[in-house]
Amino acid sequence: MSQAGFPPTTPIRNSHDDIATESAAFRKQALLIIRRNTTVKLVEPPSCSSASTIIFIGRNSRGNWVAQEQNGRYGGLFVNRAQAFKYALFENGRHPETIVELSREIELDMGGKLAASDRIAGARRVA
């Protein structure tokens, strides 16, 4: 037996070892907490499925403004151009480059695709 009454096979622990062990355990626990608390903000996408969807804006035969997606999936009648444009931006996820203003009349048709002539003749990009 040694002077302190401990058998010679018992290891003597250093306070530095305890601090290093506690510090490593604390870091590991902190990393787990950080990883666990990381949240992802989920935002509902607009009703269109693609940013490349074209939206046509123009006036109908009664003078109302029309905004309609190229395949007729969504659209609406508006009292002024600004509101039609605002609606189009909302629906397409804020992509003004996909909005086309028609110089000829366009009628709101929620039953299907717009006529091919409406897509080509008199079209100009707004953005």
- Per-residue CA distances from 85 to 55, 66, 75, 101 (Å): 9, 9, 11, 9
Tokens of 47: 């009703």
- Encoded amino acid at 20, one letter: A
CB atoms inside a 10 Å sphere around CB 60: 13
What confidence tens digit (pLDDT) does each residue in 17-69 have?
555 666 777 777 766 665 544 455 555 555 545 556 899 999 999 999 999 99
Angle in degrees, CA 56, 62, 65, rounded to 5: 30
Domain ranges across the chain: 55-125
**Which of these ranges, 19-28, 73-82, 90-99, 105-114, has the smallest mean pLDDT?**
19-28
Residue whose tokens read 């996820």: 93
* Percent above pLDDT 90 for the chain: 39
> Is the pLDDT confidence value at 90 over 90?
yes
pLDDT (mean) for 67-74: 92
Record the pTM: 0.50
- Encoded amino acid at 17, one letter: D
